[in-house]
A and B are shown apart, each in its own frame.
Chain A
Amino acid sequence: MAISKVKRIHIVAHHSLKGAILARLQDLGVMEVVTEENPSPELLPSSSSRKEELERMLGEVRYCLDFLERYRQDKPGALESFFPRPVEVKKEDFLRHSFSYIPVYRACLAIEEQLNQIRAVINKLNTNLEFLKRIKNVEVPLEYIGGTRFTFSCLLEVPREKYATLEEKLKELGREWLMETFPSPRGFWVFLVGHRDLEAQIKEVLQMLSLVPLVFPQAFEGTPEEAMHKVETRLHEVMTERELLYQKALRYLKFERDLKVTHDYYSVLLEREEVERAILQTRETSLISGWAQEEVIPAIEESLRIIGREWVLYQRDPQEGEKPPIDLRNGIWTRNFEVLTRLYGLPNYTELDPTPFLSFFFFLFFGICLGDVIYGLVLALLGFFAPLFLPLSESARRFFHMLGWGGIASIGAGMATGSWLGDVFDYLPSFLSAVTQFKKALTVIDPINNPLPMLIFSLALGVVQILVGIGLSFVKEWRRKHFAVAIMDHLSWFVFLVSIVLYLLGVTGLQVLKGVALPLVVGSALFLVATQGRAKKNPIMKVLSGILSLYGVVSYLGDVLSYSRLFALGLSSSIIAILARTLGMLFGGSPYIGWLIGLLIALLFNVFNLLMSGLGAFVHSARLQYVEFFTKFYENGGREFKPFGYKTKYIKLS
């Protein structure tokens, strides 16, 4: 259907042309290059040497970009970071790219290294500061701690309850010692000086009381207070130095654009290099094979002719057993819904593209599920206007358009069911009563007061979609010339289900149909019984499995009932809107700023409802396509067509 026809292409060229041909092909961006499967033995893989080098260079450029990103001040906003604005570059400038990133890279590395050193210094200074803060009450120059030829000294933290014991024990040892105390949170800081002769004994006492002399992280000068001051000054210096480095880093932001272009330039080269690895060669020639649409082949030949004459291009149709890549081509409206087919999985090359069929149903179902004029309007405005202001990729743009169309369907469904932000329009001030009248005039079904018609309508849509599904599988098999399967497995069910529906219509109203439908029901049922057991050998089994196959009607019934969700979701979004209106009016009735609170509550509820109902409408409409519709006819398993071209991350070529 809308899967474009592709041809297998083989370009055989002299080695000297290989690089130029690949560059041309990448520039054209219309051919997917693949490795030949089952190559003949004289074809050898080609070697490419630049891959590692390119990867290294790409890594270095990426490092620069990450580095700049880390230190930039003007962080992008939320919207900007979701939809980054690409750098626009002219194609000629891009291909003649000449920016040398190495100086920037070296500078970034150097700055980073300095920053790391500074970070280490800051850590150390902070640790020292913490340490000195602990002992800031000690008024002893710290260089005194350690000892002299005849004395030794240390600083101890002694808990209040141990102090007396310590003093007592020391007195027992003699008099050649000296203690000075300073307050500490847990007791005292004790500066203890003793004669060398007593050192061993004093240490024993300390050990007995489990007191450990304080260990200094480094040598300090002056009292702790003075030392702290020195450390703080140094810290301040280092911080200033760091600030200067940040500013230096920021100066390199002016190269950001060049770096981005460089990044994409190298990634384009890298891709070409990777493709080159897929190419097989003989002693003198290279074989470039791949897929391309039939209509672009002349353009390929045209541009190769410019390069030289030492090449040949062969083309042929895909062969049995080959899996050509899938390129969906749909109309301007249906292509917005291609994303749904992609989500499920692309079709096989011989399958039909389900997008045209699902797009209409999805459009309709989404509308019914959201089912409100105002919500639809909001969604439509968002879907159609957001892509005008945001730099979106083609696929994201289509997604927005799909939502926009869903909004339009929802406007229609909301008009038909009389849901305009729930029932807000019934409470308009009297001078707007014309609007209320207009709304009422458009309403066809009122599902809130009379739910059955809407429910039946939803189920009827289900019947239609399932019949379309069976019809498609009939067409598919017929085209493949599997006439027996088409008639016995698909057409028969189609007729059977249609006649059941007609009969049911006959029972409930149109008596005329009853007479026509009954023979059809019986006839098609008998036909199913007769044909569905044809795979079995035993005649009794043939009949039995034929009869059993009629049980399949239950699964169709289940499928149809599943469409009742359309009704339930549509109702749910309008009832929550009514709830929002009710709560809003409830609070709005209070004096003073009651109206404001009421308005805010109603607004909050409605935004929440739009988000949740929108999500639900998308998910459930998609599910109906996938589970109820696709299972009737669709087989996925295709592979996306990925032409060899310029894949860029930051830039947009113009």
Chain B
Amino acid sequence: MLVDGLVFALLGSALAIGLAGIGSALGVGIAGEAGAGVMTEDPGKFGQVLLLQALPGTQGIYGLLAGFWVLIKLGLFGGTPVAVTVAQGMQIMFACLPIAIVGLLSGISQGKTAAASIGLIARRPEETGKAIILPAMVETYAVLSLLATILLLNSIKL
């Protein structure tokens, strides 16, 4: 029984890291394609483009953070592993879902917004500030889901 609980908890951790990571990878990819297009015209915009391309990268970090938190909680990093029941394992898995799902989808969406913003700075480089704020609006929901995951994980007593 002990093992079963751990399986669910690890699945949760893996989903958080994996799905949010996919979201970021896709988002950064989408933004990067747009950025490369802009830089063929003006390689001098590298700094601004890189900044915008980095924005959808945060979901992956949030996912990693949530997954890591689970591993710490389970005592798998250096400490003694904690015994986890099936119910607790599933609780942990569900707690991981907000950042896993929202991370995946918001990463893609933020990537598209960042790509559009890169298009904006291609024509109006003086508006970089505003161009950065638009993708950040999407990120709000990734931050909120990270918050939900953290609070949920914190409320599970092992």
**Chain A interface residues toward B at CB < 8 A:** 82, 342-344, 451, 455, 561-562, 564-565, 567-569, 571-572, 575-576, 578-579, 582, 585-586, 611-612, 615-616, 619-620, 622-623, 626-627
Across the interface, B54 reaches (CB within 8 A) one of A342, A455, A571, A615, namely: A615
Given A565-B143, A568-B147, A619-B133, 20 other A-B contacts at CB below 8 A?
A342-B129, A343-B129, A343-B133, A344-B130, A564-B147, A567-B147, A568-B150, A572-B146, A576-B61, A578-B68, A579-B64, A579-B65, A582-B72, A582-B78, A611-B54, A612-B61, A619-B55, A623-B133, A623-B137, A627-B137
Most-contacted residue by chain A among B65, B132, B146 (CB, 10 A): B65
Q: Which residues on A sit within 8 Å (CB–CB) of B64?
A: 576, 579
A531 and B59 CA atoms in complex are apart in Å by 45
Interface majority SS (helix, strand, loop, mixed), chain B: helix
* Contact B143 A612, beta carbon cutoff 8 Å: no
* Contact B61 A564, beta carbon cutoff 8 Å: no
A572 and B103 CA atoms in complex are apart in Å by 14
* Contact B58 A616, beta carbon cutoff 8 Å: yes
* Contact A575 B65, beta carbon cutoff 8 Å: yes
Q: Which residues on A sit within 8 Å (CB–CB) of B72?
A: 578, 582
B138-157 CB mask vs A (1 if < 8 Å, else 0) is: 01100110110011001000
Q: Which residues on A sit within 8 Å (CB–CB) of B65?
A: 572, 575-576, 579
* Contact B146 A626, beta carbon cutoff 8 Å: no
Most-contacted residue by chain B among A565, A569, A627 (CB, 10 A): A565
Whether, in the assembled complex, B136 has its beta carbon less than 8 Å from a beta carbon of chain A, the answer is yes
Across the interface, B51 reaches (CB within 8 A) one of A342, A565, A615, namely: A615
Whole-angstrom distance between the Cβ of B127 and the nearest chain A Cβ: 9
Within 8 A of A (CB), among B1-55: 47, 51, 54-55
A455 and B51 CA atoms in complex are apart in Å by 28
Q: Which residues on B sit within 8 Å (CB–CB) of A342?
A: 129
A626 and B140 CA atoms in complex are apart in Å by 14
* Contact A572 B62, beta carbon cutoff 8 Å: yes
Could you pull out 18 A-B pairs where Cβ atoms are within 8 angstroms? A344-B130, A451-B151, A564-B144, A565-B140, A568-B144, A568-B150, A576-B61, A576-B65, A612-B57, A612-B58, A612-B61, A615-B54, A619-B55, A619-B139, A620-B136, A620-B139, A622-B136, A623-B136
* Contact A622 B77, beta carbon cutoff 8 Å: no
Contact (A344, B129) CB under 8 Å given A567-B147, A619-B136, A627-B137: yes
Tally B residues with Cβ within 8 Å of A: 30
A578 and B73 CA atoms in complex are apart in Å by 13
Whether, in the assembled complex, B69 has its beta carbon less than 8 Å from a beta carbon of chain A, the answer is yes
Q: Which residues on B sit within 8 Å (CB–CB) of A343?
A: 129-130, 133
Q: Which residues on B sit within 8 Å (CB–CB) of A586?
A: 77-78
**Chain B interface residues toward A at CB < 8 A:** 47, 51, 54-55, 57-58, 61-62, 64-65, 68-69, 72, 77-78, 129-130, 132-133, 136-137, 139-140, 143-144, 146-147, 150-151, 154
A565 and B136 CA atoms in complex are apart in Å by 12
7 tightest A-B contacts by CB?
A: A343-B129, A568-B147, A619-B136, A565-B143, A568-B143, A575-B65, A579-B68
A513 and B144 CA atoms in complex are apart in Å by 31
Whole-angstrom distance between the Cβ of B73 and the nearest chain A Cβ: 11
CB-nearest residue of chain B to A623: B136
Whole-angstrom distance between the Cβ of B45 and the nearest chain A Cβ: 13
Whole-angstrom distance between the Cβ of A201 and the nearest chain B Cβ: 57
Q: Which residues on B sit within 8 Å (CB–CB) of A567?
A: 147
* Contact A619 B132, beta carbon cutoff 8 Å: yes
Q: Which residues on B sit within 8 Å (CB–CB) of A565?
A: 140, 143-144, 147
* Contact A451 B54, beta carbon cutoff 8 Å: no
Q: Which residues on A sit within 8 Å (CB–CB) of B68?
A: 575, 578-579, 582
Q: Which residues on A sit within 8 Å (CB–CB) of B151?
A: 451, 455
Q: Which residues on B sit within 8 Å (CB–CB) of A569?
A: 143
CB-nearest residue of chain A to B60: A612
A161 and B127 CA atoms in complex are apart in Å by 68
Whole-angstrom distance between the Cβ of B9 and the nearest chain A Cβ: 18
CB-nearest residue of chain A to B147: A568
Q: Which residues on A sit within 8 Å (CB–CB) of B129?
A: 342-344, 622
Most-contacted residue by chain B among A344, A455, A571, A579 (CB, 10 A): A579
Q: Which residues on A sit within 8 Å (CB–CB) of B143?
A: 564-565, 568-569, 620
* Contact A626 B133, beta carbon cutoff 8 Å: yes
A571 and B61 CA atoms in complex are apart in Å by 12
A582 and B78 CA atoms in complex are apart in Å by 8
A626 and B129 CA atoms in complex are apart in Å by 11
* Contact A612 B54, beta carbon cutoff 8 Å: yes
A406 and B103 CA atoms in complex are apart in Å by 28
Whole-angstrom distance between the Cβ of B62 and the nearest chain A Cβ: 7
A627 and B138 CA atoms in complex are apart in Å by 13
CB-nearest residue of chain B to A620: B136
Whole-angstrom distance between the Cβ of B81 and the nearest chain A Cβ: 15
CB-nearest residue of chain B to A574: B65
